[in-house]
Each structure stands twice: as C-alpha cells, then as structure tokens.
C-alpha cells in the first residue's frame, strides 16, 4: 500500500512491503501522530495480531500484544492519555511497561473474553488494564513525558470499516473497506534463510529455473523447509540468488502446477505436499514389526536389559516389596522422587522431590504433559525429524502438529517464524542426543529457544530420555534451564521393559496439577518397578560406560557400510543416543526400500515415520543397539537392495 495522508496531514497511514531488503518485520499498518493531536483509530477485522507501542523520547515504554476476532481500537487525546483495546473473542493478551512494574499474560481459551482495554493516564501517572470491564491491574507509572504516540502491527484477513478520526472535531477520514492486507514478514521464510536451506543448488549451467525448482522441491522433501511455510516474494528471492524475477516466478509456477506450492491472493506462496505423495510413500501395513515375520528387527532403537545389574536390583527390590505389600495403596515412592531430584541438583538444576511426578515411562509423561499445557486442537511444534512415538501420542491427543526442520540444528529464526505464523501453544523438543540424529544442542542454542518460547508464552516440553547416553562427551550434558516440563525415563538408559519415567515440573503447583489429572494414577509405575529404579539410578553411568564400546563399534560399521552405498552419507556425527540418521542417494525412497527389505526379513522404518508432515523420505534411521552380527547382516541386505 502507498502512503496515505489523512485529512490535514496530522495523521499518516503507512503500509510497508512485506519482506523488505533488510528482512526485518515490516509493519503493514502504522499510525503516527504529533503529541498535540487527538485521534481515534478503529477497525473491524477478522484477526488482529501485532505489536502496539506507545513511544517515548528514548525507547518504547509500553507494548501490548493481543489477538481478537472482533474490533480493535486506539484512542489518544491531547494530554497523552490513551486507551487501546479489542472486542469479541480475545484469546491472548500481554502488557509490559518499560520498568516492568506491570506485566502479565491473560490466556483465555477456547472461547476468549469479550472486551479488553489497556489505558495510561500521564497526568495521574497510572496504568490500568481491564477485562470485560473488571480492572485486573492498576499501578503507578512515572516514566518520561510522551513525545509521540503510535501503533504498529498487522491486520490480516479482510478489514472492514477502517476509520481514523483526527482532532477533537467530527471530521472523519475513511478508507473504504474491505481492505485485504497481508501477514507480516516475520511469518515468512526469509530469502537469505531459504538460500541457506537450498545449499549448492546450481547443477546445470544454462537452466537456473529448473535447478531452482528441483532445489525447492528437495528442500521440502528433505525437511529443510517446513511444509506450509510461506516463501519469500519472487522479487526478494531473485535479489538474494542473483536471478531475474521471471526465472523465480516460472519456478514457483511449475511448483504450483505440481502441487508443491499453493498461492492465494494476499497470502503469498506456501509450501505443500502433492496429494499423491503420501499415498506413494505409505508402506502397506505399516513399518513396525509384527511378531516373527522379520528375523532382523531394526524398528526400535532400544537396548536389551543389563542383566547383572537388573537381576541384582530385582532381588533387592523384591525383598523391600514385602514391607510395601502391607500398605493398601502405594503410589509415588518419595525415595525415588528424591533420587531423581538429586540427579537434577547434581547437574546444576535446583529441584525438589515434590516437583517430580512419577510416570510409567516418558510416553506416559508426554500424555500427562500435553493434557496440562496443550488442550486438544492446540498447535504443537515438533522437531522434524523426531521420535515417532511422540508424533503418535500428540496426534491421538488431538494436537495439530507443526514441523520444525532441525537437520542443521535448532534454528531460532525458524522457531520464531513458525511460532508466530501458527500461534504455537506448546513445543516438544529433544536437545540431548536427539532421536534420530544424535545431535546435541549447545547451551547457547537451548537458552535462545527457552527465551523465545517464554516471550511467546509457549510451553516447552523437553524430552531428556537420552541425556545419559553420551558418545563423545565424558558426562551427561546439563539439563535445560527454563523448560516448562522435563521428561525422563529409564527405558533407554536401562531397558524398555522397565516402565519407569518422570516429569520434572517447573514448580510444585504445576506438579500438583499434573497429579490431579484423573489419568495420573493409572500412569504411575507399579511399586516393584519403582523399587528397581531406586536401585539402578546410581548405576546409570556404569551401565552406559559398559555398553558404549559395542555401540561405537556399531556406529563404525554403519559408517563403513554407508560409504559404499552410492550417493548416501551419514548425517552429521552422532554425539550420543541410540541411533544414526542416514541420507540416501538423491531420488532414492526409504519407503520403497523399507518395503523391499521387509520382503527379505528386515524391518526398518522409513524416514517419513519421523516426520509430522510426510517428508524426509530420503532418510533412514539405523539403531546402534542391536547385536553386531545382526546389524552387519542387515547392512549387507540394504546394500544388495539399494
């Protein structure tokens, strides 16, 4: 939109192009006025989401973020008094003053509340907030004098009845509706980010458009660009890649014809998967083993029981069970809670036993956690790739899964874009020896994601099941500080048959809320298994050290075998965990390979099983936990089948 003068010039409506050359978020609608003017801005809109700032001479002193499906408004008088609010279906609102004397988040879902307002009176130095006419906060504020007042943000959807009234008189200036406006650029894949995802994409000297088309398609299939991600403008991508706009436009057009991109007026071009793709990739009957029909089962990355330690723990626990058997009801053992809390404290994360909720494994913990922080229908951000069991649990819970590509690490820019575009409610991540890649997030990456999640009121669920399974570091990494929920389990560090896990909640109130769920008692592990866990927790480091040479031997065997597969490679170098992630040759399909291997007696999951959106078909997860001779035989069969 072009700049529009309002009445006598005291107000200006500014529209900035999405995805500008500096790639910073662009305000689609901005109103600026001198301090001696009084005005009202209002709009009836399908959806409002943006940053509204009251500016002062040195820095913004207050900002508000809110979402509403009704009317929004801003009113300012000549003294600098202002009021900003919305009507109908407001689902989230945050307000912060510069000195943080007033801050808070009100998240009311699913129905929302009807009327919200924030006001500031500079004469009496009071800031107030109200919901449905009830004052929820009233604090003194003694910031500097108002130098200018403005609102910036985005209105997207169809905006009707857009009105600006300038000055104390009844003069009106109207922009006739409906006005179709776009989403802000922060919800796009930036051109520079897309260029990094494409990598070295030029293959043919005289066909850059075809090369770009192939590279964009591969980036979606390989999970480097999320499905439903909004692509940069043709002009912006052309400038970044050094191409003509016509070349980019033609590539987008061919992708659109093939179902890889969808385009809607006002919404830009969005990545997609063709409708025929999922049917082609699906393995009939699923990929999991079904009894004895596969003599080599590589479907699960889980170790066998450490029999010497386990049998000794079982004997001790059985003796101790005699005393517990005299109790009519036994739920969580405080001794086990304290032992788990002590491991967190030893790693630098202060934890009380009351914060530890015992569960029948990490999967049971995820079930309880999702019920607490992400009601059915919420959008859940998950890494792509990630643990297939978590995808199934989240889908059965009713969450809408949004993939976060992480093959090149935990990209903070992509996190922001996906969180803001999809209004993410919670995120499930594995920072410690990620399943399936074995990657390890560094402290800076963790802290950055924690901060971004906190700023957006996103519940961060961190799966630490693999934290004790290091390859290349001498000890387990420190737990993630600031997570909403930590999930732990002994299924990977000891044995999948020992169904003992836990949730470390942020505080005791959150832990009590988890325990209060009707399902919690059902998901608590039996007393005998809790007693076994008490005995085994002090031995986890020794068990891992004894197993490590065999797993390192298997990793070396995989690397040697993959080096002989034409065009294939091991993705990165696993830092720990129980598996490695293999990239097949360009054009190869892991779903097709899995079907052929199944006919030869090998069960191996295709890459798409680790994706929330059907991508990653060019990858395989190979577990490192199976018998070495069996792994060698399986790798030989893969070589023959490719």
In this structure, what CATH number is given to the domain that contains residue 356? 3.40.640.10
d(CA 131, CA 66): 12
Judged against a pLDDT cut of 80, whether residue 46 lies above it is answered with no
* Domain annotation covers residue 542: no
Q: Give burial (CB, 10 Å; 0-12/13-18/19+) of 632.
A: middle
Do 495 and 512 have their domain in common? yes
* Domain annotation covers residue 411: yes
**Of 34-43, 52-61, 528-537, where does the model show the most confidence?**
528-537
Report DSSP letters for 510-578, one per residue. Answer: HHHHHHTSTTTTTTSPPHHHHHHHHHHGGGHHHHHHHHHHHHHHHHHHHHHHHHTSTT-EE-S---BSS
Do 177 and 33 have their domain in common? yes
Do 223 and 154 have their domain in common? no
d(CA 449, CA 455): 10
Averaged confidence pLDDT in the chain:
75
What is the pLDDT, as a whole number, of residue 128?
A: 54
pLDDT band at 377 (very low <50, low <70, confident <90, very high): confident
d(CA 157, CA 313): 62
**β 39-48/52-54 pair status:** unpaired
Q: Which residues contact 95 (CB under 8 A, 6 or more apart)?
A: 62, 63, 64, 102, 103, 104, 118, 129, 137
Judged against a pLDDT cut of 90, whether residue 341 lies above it is answered with yes
What is the pLDDT, as a whole number, of residue 427?
A: 98
Residue 436: cis peptide before it, omega within 30 degrees of 0: yes
185 vs 63, higher pLDDT: 63
- Here the tokens at position 220 are 């979606």
In this structure, what CATH number is given to the domain that contains residue 217? 1.10.10.10
Cα 573-579-583 angle, rounded to 5 deg: 60
Q: How far apart are the first and last CA of the chain?
A: 54
Residue range 67-88, pLDDT digits in tens: 444 444 444 444 444 455 555 4
d(CA 470, CA 468): 6
Phi-psi region of 476 (alpha: psi -120 to 50; beta: other; left: phi over 0): beta
User: Quick one: which of 633, 497, 623 has its CA closest to 550?
Assistant: 623
d(CA 95, CA 85): 11
Is 503 within 8 Å of 273 (Cβ atoms)? no
* Domain annotation covers residue 619: no
Do 166 and 232 have their domain in common? no
**Of 96-110, 139-153, 265-279, 302-316, where does the model show the most confidence?**
302-316
Three-state secondary structure call for residue 204: coil
d(CA 82, CA 120): 6
Predicted model pTM: 0.68
496 vs 179, higher pLDDT: 496
pLDDT band at 421 (very low <50, low <70, confident <90, very high): confident
Judged against a pLDDT cut of 80, whether residue 94 lies above it is answered with no
Phi-psi region of 561 (alpha: psi -120 to 50; beta: other; left: phi over 0): alpha
What mean pLDDT comes out for the span 275-280?
55
Last residue of one domain, picked from the residues 186, 208, 227: 186
Instruction: Look at the chain and count its residues.
Output: 642
Is 337 within 8 Å of 353 (Cβ atoms)? yes
Do 259 and 338 have their domain in common? no
What is the pLDDT, as a whole number, of residue 123?
A: 52
d(CA 160, CA 151): 18
* Domain annotation covers residue 337: yes
* Domain annotation covers residue 620: no
Do 40 and 170 have their domain in common? yes
Cα 484-486-487 angle, rounded to 5 deg: 140
Residue range 108-153, pLDDT digits in tens: 333 444 455 555 555 554 555 555 455 544 444 333 333 223 333 3
261 vs 102, higher pLDDT: 261
What is the pLDDT, as a whole number, of residue 219?
A: 86
341 vs 130, higher pLDDT: 341
d(CA 639, CA 494): 32
* Domain annotation covers residue 91: yes
Last residue of one domain, picked from the residues 168, 186, 204: 186
What mean pLDDT comes out for the span 436-460?
94
The backbone torsions φ and ψ at residue 153, rounded to the nearest 5 degrees and listed phi first, read: 165, -150
Do 177 and 28 have their domain in common? yes
What is the H or E stretch that residue 630 is in?
helix 628-641
Last residue of one domain, picked from the residues 134, 151, 186: 186
Three-state secondary structure call for residue 623: strand
Scanning the structure block, which residue is given the tokens 């107030």? 128
* Domain annotation covers residue 626: no
d(CA 134, CA 152): 26
Residue range 222-247, pLDDT digits in tens: 878 888 788 888 888 999 999 999 99
The 3-state secondary structure of 234-282 reads HHHHHHHHCCCHHHHHHHHHHHHHCCCEEEECCCEEEECCCCCHHHHHC
d(CA 511, CA 196): 42
**β 296-297/379-384 pair status:** unpaired
What is the pLDDT, as a whole number, of residue 85?
A: 54
- Here the tokens at position 576 are 């720990």
Do 334 and 407 have their domain in common? yes
Domain count, the chain: 3
Judged against a pLDDT cut of 60, whether residue 320 lies above it is answered with yes
Cα 14-18-20 angle, rounded to 5 deg: 95
Three-state secondary structure call for residue 67: strand
Which string of b and e fits 47-70 if b means at least 16 CB within 10 Å? bbbbebbbbbeeeebbbbbbbbbb
Do 28 and 104 have their domain in common? yes
Centre a 10 Å sphere on the Cβ of residue 487 and count the other Cβ atoms it contains.
26
Judged against a pLDDT cut of 50, whether residue 4 lies above it is answered with no
What is the pLDDT, as a whole number, of residue 323?
A: 87
pLDDT band at 586 (very low <50, low <70, confident <90, very high): confident
Do 174 and 235 have their domain in common? no
- Here the tokens at position 510 are 């959150």
Tally the C-alpha atoms within 13 A of residue 533's C-alpha that lie toward its C-beta.
Answer: 32
Residue range 153-199, pLDDT digits in tens: 333 333 333 344 433 332 232 322 222 223 333 346 778 888 888 88
Do 143 and 237 have their domain in common? no
Tell me how far CA of residue 190 lies from CA of 414, 545, 639, in angstroms: 9, 44, 39
556 vs 203, higher pLDDT: 556
* Domain annotation covers residue 630: no
In this structure, what CATH number is given to the domain that contains residue 135? 2.60.120
Strands laid side by side in the 149-153 sheet: 4-6, 11-14, 29-33, 149-153
Which parts of 384-459 fold into alpha helices (H)?
Answer: 388-397, 412-422, 443-455
What mean pLDDT comes out for the span 356-365?
96
Do 74 and 210 have their domain in common? no
What mean pLDDT comes out for the span 610-626?
92
What domain range is 197 assigned to? 191-275
Judged against a pLDDT cut of 90, whether residue 354 lies above it is answered with yes
Judged against a pLDDT cut of 80, whether residue 287 lies above it is answered with no
d(CA 495, CA 232): 47
Cα 346-347-350 angle, rounded to 5 deg: 75
d(CA 419, CA 48): 16
């Amino acid at each position: 939109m072009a700049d529009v003068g309002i009445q006598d010039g005291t107000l200006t409506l500014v529209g900035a192009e999405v995805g500008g050359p500096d790639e910073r978020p662009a305000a689609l609608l901005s109103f600026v006025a001198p301090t001696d003017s009084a005005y009202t801005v209002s709009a009836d809109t399908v959806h409002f989401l943006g940053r509204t700032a009251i500016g002062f001479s040195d820095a913004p002193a207050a900002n508000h973020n809110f979402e509403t499906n009704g009317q929004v408004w801003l009113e300012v008088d000549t003294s600098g008094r202002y009021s900003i609010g919305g009507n109908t279906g407001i689902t989230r609102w945050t307000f912060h003053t510069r000195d943080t004397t007033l801050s808070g988040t009100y998240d009311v879902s699913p129905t929302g509340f009807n009327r919200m307002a924030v006001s500031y009176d500079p004469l009496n130095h009071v800031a107030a907030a109200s919901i449905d006419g009830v004052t929820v906060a009233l604090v003194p504020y003694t910031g500097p004098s108002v130098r200018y007042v403005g609102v910036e943000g985005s209105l997207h959807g169809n905006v009707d009845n857009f009105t600006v009234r300038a000055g104390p008189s009844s003069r009106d200036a109207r922009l006739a509706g409906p006005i179709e406006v776009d989403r802000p650029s922060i919800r796009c894949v930036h051109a520079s980010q897309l260029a990094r995802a494409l990598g070295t994409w030029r293959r043919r000297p005289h066909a850059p458009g075809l090369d770009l088309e192939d590279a964009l398609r591969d980036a979606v299939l390989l999970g480097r660009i999320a499905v439903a991600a909004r692509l940069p403008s043709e002009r912006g991508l052309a400038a970044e890649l050094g191409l003509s706009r016509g070349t980019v436009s033609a590539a987008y057009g061919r992708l659109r014809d093939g179902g890889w991109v969808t385009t809607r007026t006002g919404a830009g071009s969005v990545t997609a998967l063709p409708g025929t793709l999922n049917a082609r990739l699906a393995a009939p009957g699923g990929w999991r083993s079904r009894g004895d029909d596969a003599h080599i089962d590589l479907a699960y990355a889980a170790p066998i029981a450490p029999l010497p330690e386990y049998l000794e723990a079982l004997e001790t626990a059985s003796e101790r069970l005699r005393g517990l058997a005299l109790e009519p009801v036994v739920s969580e053992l405080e001794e086990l809670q304290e032992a788990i809390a002590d491991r967190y404290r030893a790693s630098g994360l202060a934890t009380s036993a009351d914060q530890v909720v015992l569960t029948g494994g990490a999967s049971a913990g995820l079930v309880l956690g999702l019920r607490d922080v992400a009601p059915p229908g919420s959008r859940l951000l998950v890494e792509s790739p990630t643990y297939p069991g978590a995808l199934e649990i989240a889908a059965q819970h009713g969450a809408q899964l949004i993939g976060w590509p992480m093959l090149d690490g935990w990209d903070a820019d992509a996190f922001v874009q996906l969180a803001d575009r999809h209004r993410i409610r919670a995120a499930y991540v594995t920072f410690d020896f990620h399943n399936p890649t074995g990657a390890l997030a560094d402290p800076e990456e963790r802290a950055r994601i924690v901060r971004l999640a906190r700023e957006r009121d996103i519940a961060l669920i961190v799966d630490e099941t693999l934290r004790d399974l290091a390859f290349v570091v001498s000890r387990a990494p420190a737990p993630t500080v600031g997570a909403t929920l930590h999930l732990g389990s002994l299924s990977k560090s000891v044995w999948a048959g020992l169904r003992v896990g836990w949730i470390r909640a942020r505080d005791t109130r959150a832990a009590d809320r988890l325990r209060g769920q009707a399902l919690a008692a059902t998901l608590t592990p039996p007393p005998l298994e809790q007693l076994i866990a008490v005995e085994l927790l002090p031995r986890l480091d020794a068990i891992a050290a004894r197993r490590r040479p065999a797993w390192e031997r298997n990793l070396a065997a995989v690397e040697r075998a993959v080096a002989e597969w034409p065009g294939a490679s091991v993705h990165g170098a696993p830092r720990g965990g129980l598996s490695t992630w293999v990239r097949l040759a360009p054009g190869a399909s892991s779903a097709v390979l899995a079907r052929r291997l199944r006919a030869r007696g090998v069960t191996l999951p295709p890459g798409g099983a680790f994706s929330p959106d059907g991508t990653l078909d060019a990858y395989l997860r190979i577990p490192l936990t199976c018998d070495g001779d069996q792994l060698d035989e399986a790798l030989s069969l893969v070589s023959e089948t490719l």
